[in-house]
Chains A and B, each alone.
Chain A
């Protein structure tokens, strides 16, 4: 599975529903994730991609869309 597929699986696991089909749609503004699901998503991404995301990288904008998440984890793996 490619990174995008793994991210979609993480999101589905956290939100218990499929994410927006548009990879550039805001996961927050669309109502898909609320603020309290964000830390869960980050923890799941760390687990899935075997990375440690430092607190200094925890800018919500970096995790706002599937594309941005893909860019971030692509640069870390």
Chain B
């Protein structure tokens, strides 16, 4: 059975407040906080790449897990904001970890990429050993594209999260997962090269509000697990109002949904792994504790994963 061996994260040092971004798009800090739950976000330096941030998160993860890069059998990197069509950042990350030759796979998927990468890793670990999953996003470069849309520019931040999935040796076990995709909504949230991000916010919110609880319900239902039995939900940090809505739909107290969106904004596919890394650092997972991961993003792609301590 696949197990989680550790998490890591990297956040750039530059803090961008609502005051700063609000001045650029003609919105007050209070308005931004109300519509998104975001107070500040981090922006990478101009010369800081997605691979740079991914590498920093990977190194943090490996250090925390006590695993040497040489003990990795595969690297998966998800990013919806990669700087070029190809090659993606995965091979660069593997090389800079000193493990050139190890297979490295890019998952060019925004928002949901972290969880899709984890599920992929849980399937591949049997043949490849320890699989490093990294999600890295430089959304600031996209949010700043002209013409700036206030509804988009205020949301996003930069960062990277990582985890290692392996077999044996202990660690929380991945019990089950569900993944779904529906391309009929592809035009509701898409990003073309050199163009601003295009988002039909109403459609995204309406679909996410239904599909995330449905995926979690599907996963928990087939594992005969009530939502109340979950110790913590680690969800894609898209918008605080959406996180609260999912909690309400599942009739779970909002405090069971870990949230750091107030300080990092929406870091797309990196957000769930950054949240997991933070939660892991400050909490002890007891045996039999259950964790539920959940994502939703452009595609649309969505899913959930159940983990037991």
A residues near B (Cβ < 8 Å) are 28, 34-36, 38-39, 42, 55-56, 58-60
Per-residue CB proximity of B163-207 to A under 8 Å, as 1/0?
000000000000000000010100000000000000011110111
> When the two chains form their complex, are residues A42 and B202 in contact, meaning their CB atoms are under 8 A apart?
no
B200 touches which one: A36, A42, A55, A60 (CB < 8 A)? A60
B241 to chain A, nearest CB (A): 5
Q: Which residue on A lies nearest to B209, using beta carbons?
A: A39
> When the two chains form their complex, are residues A42 and B184 in contact, meaning their CB atoms are under 8 A apart?
no
A59 touches which one: B35, B182, B203, B242 (CB < 8 A)? B203
Known: A34-B35, A39-B206, A58-B210. 9 other contacts (CB 8 A): A35-B202, A35-B206, A36-B241, A36-B242, A36-B245, A39-B245, A58-B207, A59-B203, A60-B200
B210 touches which one: A39, A59, A60 (CB < 8 A)? A39
Inter-chain CA distance A71–B35, complex, in Å, is 31
The residues of B that contact A60 with a CB separation of less than 8 Å are 200, 202-203, 206
B211 CB–A CB distance under 8 Å = yes
How many chain B residues sit at the interface, stated as a range, is 10 to 19
Inter-chain CA distance A38–B182, complex, in Å, is 21
Inter-chain CA distance A35–B238, complex, in Å, is 14
A69 to chain B, nearest CB (A): 14
The residues of A that contact B211 with a CB separation of less than 8 Å are 55
7 inter-chain pairs at a CB distance below 8 angstroms, sorted by A residue, are A34-B35, A36-B209, A39-B206, A39-B209, A55-B182, A55-B211, A58-B210
> When the two chains form their complex, are residues B206 and A58 in contact, meaning their CB atoms are under 8 A apart?
yes
Q: Which residue on B lies nearest to A41, using beta carbons?
A: B206
> When the two chains form their complex, are residues B184 and A58 in contact, meaning their CB atoms are under 8 A apart?
no
A51 to chain B, nearest CB (A): 15
B93 to chain A, nearest CB (A): 36
A14 to chain B, nearest CB (A): 13
Inter-chain CA distance A60–B35, complex, in Å, is 19
